[in-house]
Amino acid sequence: MTTATKPQLSTPAPQTSTMSESLILGGRAIREALRTPDSLLPTMFIPLFFLVVNVGQAARIFPSGDTPFLEGQNYGAFQLPASLLLAASFGSAALYLVEEIEGGYFDKLRAAPISRMSLILGRLYAEFVKTGVVSIVMVLLALLFGIRIKSGIAGFVVLVVMVAMWAMVFSGFMQLIALKTRSAAATQGASMIFFPLLFLTPNFVPREQLTRPMEIAATFNPVTYVMEAARSLILEGFDGPALTKGFAVVGLSMALMLFLSVRMVNSYD
């Protein structure tokens, strides 16, 4: 008499989370960037160039002792947030994505059993790290020229995180254009839209000192609130309303970007 053996149940393969999948793809993107470190030079040089030029042109117009909005600092402290946000606009995630689309690697990723969200977040994590490092270096260089972070070390961390998160938002919207056009030229051209947005802000003077048409444009420009939040950390300390508006813009923009990106990937074909 034979005894029936129970069928062996196969052990399901472990499932990875969206976070771990994104970090794996982000690590890959960081390794790509490390293989071409010279690509980081424009990210650092151009914002510092604009900082030096803008301060050189206007510093005598706004002396630190006689200009209330400088809070006792030099004009470079007022201009530093604009340069940090400019550095955040040099993300290369979208151009790398176009390369993957043209080479067929993106189709392989879409066929893999990973979430669509991780396909979007992977390179954006790399942009967060890259912009965070660039921002730290720029702020440390600024400290050598007498610029102080009024909010202290905690404010320094908040400042770097805010700028790095904005870099994720900007690169995410560029990735949307890359997914839509699948063209490196169109994607690179679309990145120029940031420059009008950056200059339609209280870039050289506070918003209340702008002409009325410019003040209206700056008020409706979301970049204004990120810039003012970053500027408050440098000049004033922890300004709750300014920081709330700044992080609200970053958070809402990121939520919109992720929603549209996942929708675009799902309807990619």
Measured N-to-C along each axis, helices 240-266 and 116-144 cross at an angle, to the nearest 10 degrees, of 150
d(Cα 22, Cα 118) in Å, to the nearest integer?
Answer: 4
- Only one residue has tokens 């690509």, namely 39
d(Cα 240, Cα 223) in Å, to the nearest integer?
Answer: 18
**3-class SS of residue 209:** helix
Q: List per-block mean pLDDT (blocks of 10 residues) for the chain, which spans 269 residues.
A: 44 57 78 74 84 90 89 93 91 82 79 80 89 93 91 96 95 89 82 80 92 94 95 95 96 94 81
φ/ψ bin of 251: left (φ > 0), alpha (ψ from -120 to 50), beta (otherwise): alpha
| Helix, strand, coil tally for the chain in percent (to 5) | 75, 0, 25
C-beta separation of 171 from 93 below 8 A: yes
Cβ neighbours for 203, distance < 8 A, ≥ 6 positions apart:
79, 82, 227
At residue 156, the pLDDT reads 96
What pTM does this model have?
A: 0.87
183: phi then psi, degrees, rounded to nearest 5: -130, 130
Closest to 96 (Cα-Cα) out of 147, 44, 35, 140: 35
At residue 163, the pLDDT reads 96
The enclosing H or E element of 58 equals helix 41-58
At residue 246, the pLDDT reads 96
C-beta separation of 256 from 222 below 8 A: no
